Structure formats: structure tokens, C-alpha cells
Amino acid sequence: MVIRKLTDGLILFILAFLTMGLLSCSSSVDSSPDPGILRIMLQSDPGDTTIVIQPDTIRVSDGDVFAAAIFQGQAYQDSLFAVLYPDLRSTKQTDVTYNIIQRQSGEYGNMMIFETQIPPQQYNKIRFGIKGNSLSFRGFGAIPVELSPDATPFVTLEGEFEVKENRVTEIDLRIQPFKSLTRYKDKYLMYPQIEIADVINY
């Protein structure tokens, strides 16, 4: 009887020791962090408002159109990248055409071109495609815009930014719409002139 009690006690001690050991050990599987949101805005440079269409100098006004398609956005950390979508409801990359000289209250409008949930971490560049389609001003018919044969449709903008868990990082881009164009015969060739104007964390 005494031996059985000693045996039962020893078993209970061993079980208690093992339980405490398991509870004190940290799991080798860590929970994944929640994503953050990367939002990319595009606005035309407020100082770039005129274009020469011989013999006239045209100043942009309400109703004028510079149609440009934007596509295939990516946010990079060195060679690794996250895919960017036009908005949070999108599930695939699509070409979206914007009027990049659209006016709001007499000023160039601010357009959201990408908004996507991506892993929270440091990034060091963004990349996306942009191709001009056409220009249209009052008093003129539509003028074709094409990518220059010696230019790539992809713009790469380098700069450190951080996307934090459950937070929004906004990158404001500025494009010079008319300084990006060169007249060639009866059309314009586009060399996109774009820079990062600001990075804001919400």
C-alpha cells in the first residue's frame, strides 16, 4: 500500500513537472501580423498648366483632358515586392485610365491610383506603369499621346517608407503633365516626369 502511494505520488509529480515545462515554453509558431494599407495618390504639378500648340499657348481649364492609363503597381523591399491594386475592393491588377489634368475648384485634382493591404515592414521603392492616351482641349480635337519609342512605360521611384500594422501609409506623387510631353508631327510623345512629393502615416 505504501509502495503504491509512493508510486502514485511520483507519477503525479512527473506529470506536474511536464505540464509546467510545457506551459513555460514559448511556441515556435508566431502569429502573423495584420497588414497595413499603402495608398498612393497622384496629382499634377500646380505650376505646370500651359502647353504650346503652334501658334497658340494653351492654358489648362475645366473640361480639358489628358487621359493616361496607370497599371501594374508594386511596392519593393530590394528585390521582393508586394502587388498593388487600384482599391481595397480589387482582387486583380487592371489598367485604369485617369484624366490627370482634371480640375477641382480651379486646381488639379488629387487621384488615388492604388490602395492595397500589404505586409507591414520597411519598403524602399515603388514601381508602376503609365501610358498617355490622348489630349483634348477646348477648340482642338483629340491629340494622340504615345510612349516614346526609347522610353519604358514603367516608372521606378526610390525612397524609404514604412507600412505599419493596421495603419495607413500614404505616398503623394506629383507629375508634370505637360513637361512630360514632346511634340512629334501630329502627336505627342510622353516621357513621364514623376516624383515623390510626400509620405504621410496615419
pLDDT digits over 101-147, tens only? 999 888 999 999 999 999 999 999 999 999 999 999 987 889 999 98
8 part of a folded domain:
no
Q: Model pTM? A: 0.83
Pairing of strands 65-77, 80-84: antiparallel
9 part of a folded domain:
no
pLDDT digits over 159-186, tens only? 999 999 999 999 999 999 999 999 998 8
pLDDT-based confidence at residue 100 (cuts at 50, 70, 90): very high
What pLDDT does residue 82 have?
98
12 part of a folded domain:
no
Query: What is the average pLDDT score of the chain?
Result: 88
Of 127, 135, 129, 133, the residue nearest 178 (C-alpha): 135
Total domains in the fold of the chain: 1
142 part of a folded domain:
yes
Write out the residue range of the structural domain in which residue 109 sits.
36-201
25 part of a folded domain:
no
101 part of a folded domain:
yes
Pairing of strands 36-44, 194-201: unpaired
76 part of a folded domain:
yes
95 part of a folded domain:
yes
